[in-house]
Amino acid sequence: MIEGVFGAVSDLYRREHLPALEPCTRQTNSYLLKNYIEPKFVRISMKWFWIS
């Protein structure tokens, strides 16, 4: 099991994935993260279970 906080996933997404997107898509996704997703979920704990 891996535990984390959504804010860490959001930061990783901003660093690793957003720069690779087309400018319009990058702008839209950044806007959605900043104005809708992060304010609501940034402090939410998450748990992942890996099944092999």
22-45 tens-digit pLDDT: 999 999 999 999 999 999 988 888
The amino acid sitting at 34 is K
In the predicted structure, residue 50 carries a pLDDT above the cut 80: no
Residue burial 22-33, b: 16+ Cβ < 10 Å; e: rest = eeeeeeebeeeb
pLDDT above 90: residue 3: no
Which pLDDT score, from 0 to 100, does residue 27 have? 97
pLDDT value at residue 44: 86
Report how many domains make up the chain. Answer: 1
pLDDT value of position 21:
97
DSSP 8-state code for residue 44: -
Please give the structure tokens belonging to residue 19.
């720069």
* Full residue range of the structural domain in which residue 33 is found: 2-48
- What is the pLDDT at residue 1? 58
